[in-house]
Structure 1
Amino acid sequence: MRSDHGLEQAGGTATMAFGRAIVPQPELGLVDRLRAAALQIDWVPDLGSRIGSLEWWRGAATCAALCATAIAIAPPIGRPLLGTMPSPLSGTDRDEARAQAIAPIAWGGDSGRHMAANDLVVPLAEAPERPIEDRTVTVGRGGGFGDMLQRAGLSERDAQDATALISSAVPLGDLKPGTQIPMTLGRRPNKTVARPLEALSVRARFDLELTLKRVGSGLTLTRQAIAIDNTPLRIQGPVGGSLYRSARAAGVPVKLVETYIKAIATKFAIGRVSSGDTYDLVIERQRAATGEQQLGNLLFAGLDHGDKKTQLVKWTDGTWYEASGQAERQGMFTMPVSMARVTSSFGMRFHPLLGFTRMHKGIDIGTPWGTPIHAPADGTIVYAGRSGGYGNFIKMAHGGNIVTCYGHLSRFATRSGQHVARGQVIGYSGSSGLSTGPHLHWEVIRNGVAVNPRGFSFSSIATLSGEQLRQFKAKVASLLAVRPGA
């Protein structure tokens, strides 16, 4: 059955689909089928993925073919390529090019335009001086202050006037070596005379600055007081791997670290200091309103070693006292005479005059007649006079139940009750009493028992009391109240 348009509607194959006629495609040829198949192939696959697959080998073959083709058609490497180069410039063109070029000075560059002097340039007979000149002079060791200023360029009169004004404010000896003195010199009428001093400034003391200025034909002095803060500096920190290095890293000067270690070593073995311990230092400090800072002596030395805490404070006598007000002094006696020659040692001996053996409680030191005898340590003369076989005799107490005795003297240089210092002359050797010749008999008695004076070391306990102890306690409290780093 066909419609009016000639299309079959039943009993056959429809040639119309959804209102559009289906046109049969012609059969492709071999070349077209190969071209279509080639378009379906990925000739440049990613060589980083699916390594070893058929697609990967196909891509590798493509890459090899392209490389071989590039090598085959490339020109020979050994044959140079011919090219053209411009001819070198000369004359005016070369000068213009060099004027615009930049060449390193290290390579001898002399590029750029240079203008030569013409007839309008008039040479000067002499170069004019600067109207003012700033100079700085450093205070040295030795030499006069005025001579130093003259060497810096001042006239003799200005140097004398400046020296007189500064010495009227502070002694010139108080100026520390290394102090910088900036000054300004003015214009001079000719080169045959020195420049006049216009201004000079010197830091005479940490709390005082002096300024000289020219007013008219003379110099005037101005004193400027500088406010000073005397709050001490407290530094605390862990010992770590090294006590010395930790303190230095915290900013403590070398000499103060050494002083601290020596003070602590009198109470605590340095070898027992561990990394977990804490050091504590309080140092004298002056801070000026101008920003400068000066560090002084070590005032407090502390070490926190677990349950053991060491706290030492330096008192006015130079001794390190514990916070309780006690101090242990240790030391050794020096020989009381120079060029000492021991003629009889300590111990049992045969007495040359009495003719029998008995205990020799000291040592005999052979000396020429009248040799000065020096105190081996600080002490007080308990007795100075005659004493039987000892002849002229001196007995001295040193504290800590330690007494020294000196026999056979020719004369005395001290009297009973006199306090003497270490090294002070207390008498002169001789041969008084039972003696065979000029010599010194020296005894050391500790706790009432004679001991060998040679190599004798001693220790004593010093304790503050009364008003000194009260002042000491107040100082300890003030030092401990200082905040670290403040």
Structure 2
Amino acid sequence: MSLWMADALGRAPMAAPKDWRARLRDWADEVELVPDLAERVGSLTWFRGLFTCFGLCATALYLSPGFQPIPGLPGARLDDAHYDEVRSQMMTPLALGADSGRHMGATDAVQPLRETPERPQIELSAQIGSSDTLGRALSRAGVSSGDVATIAAMVGGDISDGVKPGTALDIILGRRVSRDRPRPLDKLAFRARLDLALELTRAGGVLSVKRIPIRVDNTPLRIQGVVGDSIYRSARAAGAPPKAVQAFLRVIAGQVDLGGIGAGDRYDIVTEYRRAETGDVEVGDLLYAGLKRARGKSVDMLKWTRDGRTEWFEASGVGERRGVLSAPVAGRMSSGYGQRRHPILGYTRMHAGIDFAARYGSPIYAVTDGVVAFAGRHGGHGNYVRIQHGGGLATGYAHMSRIAAAPGQRVRRGQVIGYVGSTGLSTGPHLHYELYRNGATVNPLSVKFTTTAQLAGAELAAFRARLAQYQGLRVGIHEAFAQKAAAAPAAAGK
């Protein structure tokens, strides 16, 4: 019979009774066994869902097989011969006694030596460190104190100025008499100077020294070029040594503002440069600094020694150098001379100097020659240096992080006397610079100096001859490479 029956009177058909699966689905939808636990927190439905979650978790843990590892088959046991061969090929670090290659391990047939034989000679390579001496370097290498004293006596005159840091030492130590005695020095070879190499050898138990002269070319190095975005980068790209470029900038900074040097200006650098036939070079002091500017003052400065005193002179030959005091630090002036509101004390008072904003640790230079009258802690000035220059003039440098001058020391223009800091009454790293006239402070920007060189006669002629010699030098090989490199892109663009 059909599940649907129609009433004889024409009424709507009646639904057949549901089976148990349909009734279970309806009950589950009504009861909501797995509600969302993030909604209706604390309600009866939420607690029912929580208990359901705990029940399922407990059932899963109860039915789980456990966390114990599943046992496997044991590995095959190796006999002694196979184990010994495998051990010799393991990737064990050498420090733990590993072998290399397919070697068999030692057996009972191998008898250990009662005494390990010594090597007849030991060859070493050492190096002179910074602030090091030849004697200390040899002692670290294992040379006996007696041999070190003998070497010092034999070569002391050749290394009176010390051995240059980084110098390589080739050492050979011989066989020692007994194990409680140091090995004797059989041979020592090193470069004493750019123009001299030394070899010490032992023959018949006695050390002897052989001096090997090295030819050296002392022609100064001249480098010219055009300033690009930076005069320092341009000079370094042309092959100028860093030491020469730094000295060049210090000299030029005393004559013109470095910030005013622009692209298109030409620089000219002549520096001491020693070339050995072995290829080694040694950069010396700057000799000539020239700057040809498209706009503004050009500079020609020549180093000249007179009466044992070395100074920089203008190349004009008039024997006179004019200008304001050189800048005491590489930085911008951040505060001028006069009345101002003190940034720490909070009231207006006299600012008896000028401030230069500079990086912490920047070197501070003496603006001109003089004698250090004071160097130490000085109240609100912090670390402070005062220099007497004669004629009633003196300069003061305050807030230093470190002082590099001592009372009574004679300093020259451009000499480092300290480093920028923020000691005393200071809100940040800077240099407070003061100028005194007869003990009273004056505006440092109001004082100018004139230095007379007093070159005349034969000395002036020698000065001009030296200048002509430097200006006639051939440009260094580095500059030739730089010119070729600069011309290559231009030729490619044609």
Under a length normalisation based on structure 2, what TM-score does the superposition of the two structures give?
Answer: 0.50
CA distance 1:252–1:467, shift in 2 (3 Å):
same
CA distance in 1, matches of 2:210, 2:128: 20
SS in 1 for 2:244: helix
CA distance in 1, matches of 2:409, 2:122: 57
Contact 2:218 2:272 in 1 (8 A): yes
CA distance 1:151–1:271, shift in 2 (3 Å):
closer
Q: State the 1:111 CA deviation.
A: 12
Q: Give the equivalent residue in structure 1 for 2:315.
A: 323
CA distance 1:454–1:422, shift in 2 (3 Å):
farther
Contact 2:126 2:168 in 1 (8 A): yes
Q: Give the equivalent residue in structure 1 for 2:18.
A: none
Contact 1:320 1:327 in 2 (8 A): no
Contact 1:240 1:275 in 2 (8 A): yes
Q: State the 1:119 CA deviation.
A: 4.9
Q: Deviations over 1:179-234 (max 9, x none)?
A: 33221111224322211111112322222222111010100111122211111111
Under a length normalisation based on structure 1, what TM-score does the superposition of the two structures give?
Answer: 0.51
For these two proteins, the number of residue pairs brought into alignment is 290
The 5-angstrom pairing of residues 78-477 of structure 1 reads 113-140=102-129, 145-146=134-135, 148-171=137-160, 173-306=161-294, 309-316=298-305, 317-325=309-317, 326-328=320-322, 330-331=324-325, 404=392, 455=444, 457-463=447-453, 464-477=455-468
SS in 2 for 1:153: coil
CA distance 1:423–1:256, shift in 2 (3 Å):
closer
CA distance in 1, matches of 2:233, 2:77: 72
CA distance in 2, matches of 1:458, 1:324: 20
Q: State the 1:115 CA deviation.
A: 2.3
The CA RMSD measured in Å over matched residues stands at 4.3
CA distance 1:123–1:91, shift in 2 (3 Å):
same
CA distance in 2, matches of 1:162, 1:131: 22
CA distance 1:215–1:267, shift in 2 (3 Å):
same
SS in 1 for 2:325: strand
SS in 1 for 2:156: helix
SS in 1 for 2:468: helix
Q: State the 1:90 CA deviation.
A: 8.7
Q: Which moved more, 1:265-274 or 1:287-296?
A: 265-274
SS in 2 for 1:175: coil
CA distance 1:145–1:323, shift in 2 (3 Å):
closer
Q: State the 1:305 CA deviation.
A: 1.9
Contact 1:183 1:197 in 2 (8 A): yes
Contact 1:188 1:195 in 2 (8 A): yes
Q: Deviations over 1:16-53 (max 9, x none)?
A: xxxxxxxxxxxxxxxxxxxxxxxxxxxxxxxxxxxxxx
SS in 1 for 2:461: helix
Q: State the 1:285 CA deviation.
A: 0.5
CA distance in 1, matches of 2:172, 2:261: 56
Contact 2:132 2:165 in 1 (8 A): no
**Amino acid in the other structure paired with 1:324:** S
**Amino acid in the other structure paired with 1:462:** T
Q: State the 1:137 CA deviation.
A: 3.4
Structure 2 unmatched ranges of 5 or more: 1-74, 93-98, 329-367, 372-387, 394-407, 413-435, 478-494
> How many percent identity over aligned positions?
38
Contact 1:185 1:196 in 2 (8 A): yes
**Amino acid in the other structure paired with 1:128:** P
CA distance 1:273–1:184, shift in 2 (3 Å):
same
CA distance in 2, matches of 1:315, 1:112: 70
CA distance in 1, matches of 2:101, 2:138: 47
**Amino acid in the other structure paired with 1:466:** G
CA distance 1:216–1:454, shift in 2 (3 Å):
same
**Amino acid in the other structure paired with 1:267:** Q
Q: Give the equivalent residue in structure 2 for 1:383.
A: none
CA distance 1:262–1:144, shift in 2 (3 Å):
closer
CA distance 1:421–1:118, shift in 2 (3 Å):
closer
Q: State the 1:470 CA deviation.
A: 0.8
Larger radius of gyration: 1
CA distance in 1, matches of 2:209, 2:278: 20
